[in-house]
């Protein structure tokens, strides 16, 4: 029997015709139409008490962290001096609703909300939300005249995530099942931030240091960076992993020098040492540094940027952000490109409620980045952190996994 006959008549088994069952996507659950798109303010259904973090904790935000504006003294002390003021040009959450009452929620990066409201809405209304690939392509092509990176891609990211959430809810399955299911029982995680006592007590064995100093601080700053790494290694012991978050603050010479200075403390990777899109520079530092790995990608947008990073052999580890790179649809393409070259993809904020579904379902995404609530809060704060992230403990320290609720598993109200 040829293929055409098989598809027409079904496979004959024991004299009875057995037809191939229709895919779940082909029933009435997928026959939806987008009827509404709006920016919303989410709030937890189970709100946590407010508290003041412990004095002196890194998470209070008053601690200096190296950044691309560190070369200007008036902006050096904190990011709040040069970032948009609170309430202005923020990230956003979008709600997409359908004619059958199914809704999805997605978050995107800085400034994307107005693009959704003032442009993308008209391209979404009337579409079938199951056509995620088609919708992504329409949105990307329509924003080409004013942005293949930054705010336009932030907008697409939030919409894309809302569609995945919606489809999961329509089919009553978690998003990771839509991606092909689990590739691991749980995901080893690391913690970012310099409240090391808290993180070690909680059980982390992988710590990422927010580096405080860069070239503007001269040799004294270098020495202080090295002392911080040395101190962290002493606290962690010989077997855990240390990573350095340099947040676009260094240059090539400084990076190469720092790699040599921290080599005795076995740093697993150095992250975002240079400014985004300096692909040639990343290629040069990766070729020069053999004592650690080079990681970057948090501020790169779409697979086209990562193709440039690949062409220049600029990073050992890729770190796209699901809320900025183009959403889950584009993150999967980036990961597929990386997989062909055995490059791990460890997304920025990969332990977030949405991105963790990607890590759970993706073989070349081995770790998840997490951020603990600041120290000094009531016990319920940290208990809820464990519950929401499905925290378990084991040989690699802290492990997390996604929710099994439909979609991304959001437990929110919106207004």
**What's the CA angle centered on 150, arms 144 and 155, to 5 degrees?**
75
Lookup: tokens for 289: 């540094």
CA-to-CA dists, residue 48 to 53, 349, 377, angstroms: 14, 21, 10
Dist CA 147 CA 185 (whole Å): 39
**Which of 294, 307, 352, 308 lies closest to 327 in space, CA to CA?**
352
Choosing from 231, 348, 357, 390, which is the catalytic residue? 348
Q: Which long-range contacts (CB under 8 A, 24 or more apart) does 112-115 make?
A: 112/151, 112/152, 112/154, 112/155, 112/156, 112/157, 112/158, 113/39, 113/155, 113/158, 115/143, 115/151, 115/152, 115/154, 115/155
How far is Cα of residue 298 from the mean position of the Cα atoms in its chain?
Answer: 8
How far is Cα of residue 238 from the mean position of the Cα atoms in its chain?
Answer: 28
Dist CA 163 CA 43 (whole Å): 20
Lookup: tokens for 98: 């359908």
Lookup: tokens for 407: 């979609």
Dist CA 79 CA 255 (whole Å): 21
Give yes or no for a contact between 240 and 205, defined as CB atoms under 8 angstroms apart.
Answer: yes
Dist CA 346 CA 348 (whole Å): 7
Q: Which residue has the tokens 């240079």?
A: 274
Dist CA 110 CA 399 (whole Å): 29
* 348 counts as catalytic: yes
Q: Which residues are catalytic?
A: 348
């Amino acid at each position: 029997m040829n293929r055409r006959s098989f598809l027409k008549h079904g496979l004959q088994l024991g004299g009875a015709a057995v037809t191939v069952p229709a895919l779940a996507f082909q029933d009435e659950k997928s026959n939806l139409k987008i009827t509404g798109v709006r920016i919303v303010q989410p709030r937890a259904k189970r709100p946590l008490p407010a508290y003041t973090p412990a004095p002196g904790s890194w998470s209070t935000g008053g601690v200096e962290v190296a950044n691309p504006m560190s070369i200007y003294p008036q902006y050096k002390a904190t990011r709040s001096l040069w970032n948009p003021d609170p309430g202005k040009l923020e990230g956003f959450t979008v709600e997409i609703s359908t004619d059958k009452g199914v809704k999805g929620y997605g978050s995107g990066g800085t400034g994307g909300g107005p693009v959704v409201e003032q442009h993308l809405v008209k391209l979404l209304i009337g579409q079938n939300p199951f056509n995620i690939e088609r919708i992504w392509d329409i949105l990307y092509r329509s924003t080409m005249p004013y942005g293949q990176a930054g705010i336009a891609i932030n907008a697409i990211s939030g919409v894309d995530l809302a569609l995945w959430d919606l489809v999961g809810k329509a089919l009553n399955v978690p998003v990771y099942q839509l991606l092909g299911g689990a590739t691991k029982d749980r995901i080893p995680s690391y913690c970012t931030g310099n409240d090391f006592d808290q993180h070690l007590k909680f059980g982390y064995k992988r710590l990422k240091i927010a580096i405080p100093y860069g070239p503007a601080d001269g040799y004294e700053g270098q020495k202080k960076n090295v002392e911080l790494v040395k101190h962290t290694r002493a606290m962690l012991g010989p077997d855990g992993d240390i990573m350095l978050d340099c947040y676009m603050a260094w240059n090539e010479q400084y990076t190469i020098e720092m790699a040599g200075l921290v080599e005795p403390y076995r740093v697993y990777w150095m992250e975002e040492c240079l400014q985004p899109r300096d692909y040639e520079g990343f290629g040069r530092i990766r070729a020069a540094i053999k004592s650690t790995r080079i990681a970057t990608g948090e501020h790169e947008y779409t697979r086209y940027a990562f193709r440039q990073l690949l062409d220049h052999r600029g990073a050992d580890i890729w770190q796209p952000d699901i809320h900025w790179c183009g959403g889950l649809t584009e993150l999967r393409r980036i990961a597929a490109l990386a997989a062909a070259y055995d490059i791990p993809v460890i997304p920025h904020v990969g332990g977030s409620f949405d991105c963790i579904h990607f890590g759970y379902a993706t073989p070349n995404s081995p770790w998840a980045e997490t951020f603990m609530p600041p120290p000094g809060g009531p016990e319920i704060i940290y208990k809820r952190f464990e519950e929401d992230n499905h925290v378990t403990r084991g040989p690699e320290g802290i492990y997390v996994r996604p929710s099994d609720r439909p979609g991304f598993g959001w437990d929110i109200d919106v207004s």
